[in-house]
A = this chain, B = another copy of it.
């Protein structure tokens, strides 16, 4: 165990994928139901991965999106673009922690601060000159570790390049949206 990661299990997983690449294919899933105004609720439970539907979760995770009053909501939940920052922070962190463990780099603490710029001209369709999404997201990592600053800087760069959420935000994803 290093950094709370069972490196034997992680290396076994990597070995199994090398033998059977289909183990690496995952399909994550969510359902969402609108409640009122900006309030809507997601349920997350099953996913497909390692060649089967995962049944390790006995109950679903439930999360509410809302907006603050300035965006015509009532703060009954964080808003969707804030949840994106949460996912980005977590994915960069876990990617960093796992790869540090495999490399034998001990981490004492990892903290990150995120800021992202959005101009809601895009959301409100007031102009097509302003994109609806984030114009830039800045992530700053504060890491306490016996590793050198060079090693940590390389680890942060590695996490940026291999984090699934960071890649999904940095590079285009084919998002197919349809009416059932």
- Tell whether, in the assembled complex, residue A72 and residue B10 are in contact, meaning their CB atoms are under 8 Å apart: yes
- Tell whether, in the assembled complex, residue A98 and residue B72 are in contact, meaning their CB atoms are under 8 Å apart: yes
How many copies altogether? 2
- Tell whether, in the assembled complex, residue A176 and residue B139 are in contact, meaning their CB atoms are under 8 Å apart: yes
- Tell whether, in the assembled complex, residue B170 and residue A175 are in contact, meaning their CB atoms are under 8 Å apart: yes
- Tell whether, in the assembled complex, residue B72 and residue A56 are in contact, meaning their CB atoms are under 8 Å apart: no
- Tell whether, in the assembled complex, residue A115 and residue B177 are in contact, meaning their CB atoms are under 8 Å apart: no
List A residues 30-83 near B (Cβ within 8 Å): 30-40, 42, 44, 47, 49-50, 54, 56-57, 61, 63, 65, 67-72, 75, 77-83
**Which B residues are in CB contact (< 8 Å) with A163?**
80, 123, 132
- Contact surface of A with B, Cβ cutoff 8 Å: 3-6, 9-10, 13-14, 17-18, 21, 24-40, 42, 44, 47, 49-50, 54, 56-57, 61, 63, 65, 67-72, 75, 77-95, 97-99, 107, 109-126, 130-143, 149, 152-153, 156-180
What are the 9 A-B residue pairs with the smallest beta carbon separation, nearest first?
Answer: A65-B90, A133-B167, A4-B37, A133-B168, A4-B36, A80-B91, A32-B89, A83-B87, A34-B110
